Amino acid sequence: MTREERSAVTALRGSVRDLSYGFLLVPGLVASALIVVALVMLAVDTAVSPGIAFGGNAEAARQVLAVIATSLITVAGVAFSVTVVTLQLVSSQFTPRALREFLSDRLNQVIAGIFVGTFGYCLVVLGSVGSDSGSGQAFVPAFTVSLAVLLGIGNIAVLLIFIHHLSQSIQVSNISRAIAHGGLRAVDRLYPERHGVAAAEELASQPLDEHAGGRLVRAERPGYIQDIAVADIAAEWGRIDGQQREEAAVRGERPIVHLRVAPGDFVTGETVLVDCWPPHEGGPIDEVVHRSVRVADSRDVRQDAAYAIRQLVDIALRAISPSVNDPTTAVTCIGYVRAIMERLASRPFPGQVRLVGDPEVLVKARRRPFNDIASEAFAEIGRYGRGDPRVIGELLIAIEATVRSAVAAEANDRVSSLLGLAHEAAEPAIAETSVSGDRQSLQERLDEVVEAATTRVPPGAKEELRG
């Protein structure tokens, strides 16, 4: 597969993924499949005698199909109305960012497609009933009408499934679980895998930030970075002609690609996406970058595990606001944030400097450090939940679990920031609470975080962490 074909496939996958978050692609495919079934069944009815299938005349067949079609389009309208109301509820009660997960629910999409597809099936068949079959008798597609009756009965069960599933999916525990599972999958997908191999120390020390005359590629429009195809950019920039490559090798230099953005960043038309060096005319690098760095209207968890944390934190903040005052929802969200952070704390992040492609290109990729993600996970909840000891207590439990995960993985550089977040959350809450039991409980929780942070830490660093 050529570079252009790879870039086109990457762009197509991004577009398909965006379409899959909604009631267009999957319902459309299901509805189209049922219409195709109708055409196939009509062909079967034309070639085969009815047998034990529908035995009514043309008028009876038209009435049956009309009743099923009318009923199904009514049911579909009610189902879509309920879905819109549910979307409004999720947006106002939890967070608008949770809508993406809700819209991507495959069962809801398939059910919507079944309703619309059955309606389309009946319309296609209805148009063929009573047409001249060549024998002077009205044509009645017996097998096709029989299948329409079965579809009508089946849609009753589908409606019950839809109502049950919808009522379950709007519960905060299920919404939080779906978001968290997406985040956990993103952690497993992103952090064990690396693009290329880690660069040697002497290459990593090569200055990458400023190069006179470097090739700057800027974003085409404002939006969020969803995906970055690093290999495609490196492959294009590595196409330096032989003379330039030899001259760069003599100077001890390599082609360099400096990615200035990361998935989840918001960019504008003036934002530099990629800084390439040395400048050359090896290919249409601007076009390749714009295809490889996908800018969309919203963030996506696929290459941005922190987005799952952002959604859970938003739900928790909405829950502890005075207008909602639902600390139980906040506690649930903190538990799922803890699940993501525990796994993230034990995973080594890919190096910023890597060698990619053949010929090798030195790539410096911007990535969010663990400390920033931890701050996004815990700082805001600690700041706005300080008036509720239960919320802060649960937050300290989550931080303690994350600390233990980091210590077990010997990622001691992450421990000090987590401990600082614990102090920032606990100390104001301890000072503000008027109940001595709550103060004692929060202090004990904080002490447990400190104890977890000083376990298996070199003795010389213990006092520094405690301070």
pTM score, whole prediction: 0.73
Residue 252 lies in a domain: no
Residue 62 lies in a domain: yes
Residue 44 lies in a domain: yes
* Neighbouring C-beta atoms of residue 268, cutoff 10 Å: 11
Q: Is the pLDDT of residue 358 over 80?
A: no
Round to whole Å and give the CA distance between 254 and 124.
Answer: 63
The predicted pLDDT at position 202 comes to: 46
Boundary residue ending a domain (140, 170, 200): 170
Measured between alpha carbons, how far is residue 328 from residues 387, 405, 447 in Å?
Answer: 14, 25, 24
Measured between alpha carbons, how far is residue 202 from residues 174, 198, 199, 353, 359 in Å?
Answer: 49, 12, 8, 11, 18
Residue 48 lies in a domain: yes
Residue 216 lies in a domain: no
pLDDT tens-digit series, residues 383-394: 999 989 999 999
* The two three-digit tokens of residue 424, written as one number: 């920032």
Q: Is the pLDDT of residue 184 over 70?
A: yes
Residue 32 lies in a domain: yes
Residue 440 lies in domain: 369-466
Q: Is the pLDDT of residue 405 over 80?
A: yes
Residue 266 lies in a domain: no
Mean pLDDT of 396-413: 90
pLDDT tens-digit series, residues 226-245: 888 888 888 777 665 555 55
The predicted pLDDT at position 26 comes to: 81
Helix (H, G, I), strand (E, B) or coil at 225: strand
The predicted pLDDT at position 330 comes to: 93
Residue 298 lies in a domain: no
The region of weakest confidence among 213-222, 445-454, 456-465 is 456-465
Boundary residue ending a domain (141, 170, 199): 170
Q: How many domains does the chain have?
A: 2
pLDDT tens-digit series, residues 151-161: 988 988 888 88
Residue 451 · residue 415 · CB < 8 Å? no
Confidence band, pLDDT 50/70/90 cuts, at residue 204:
very low
Confidence band, pLDDT 50/70/90 cuts, at residue 49:
low
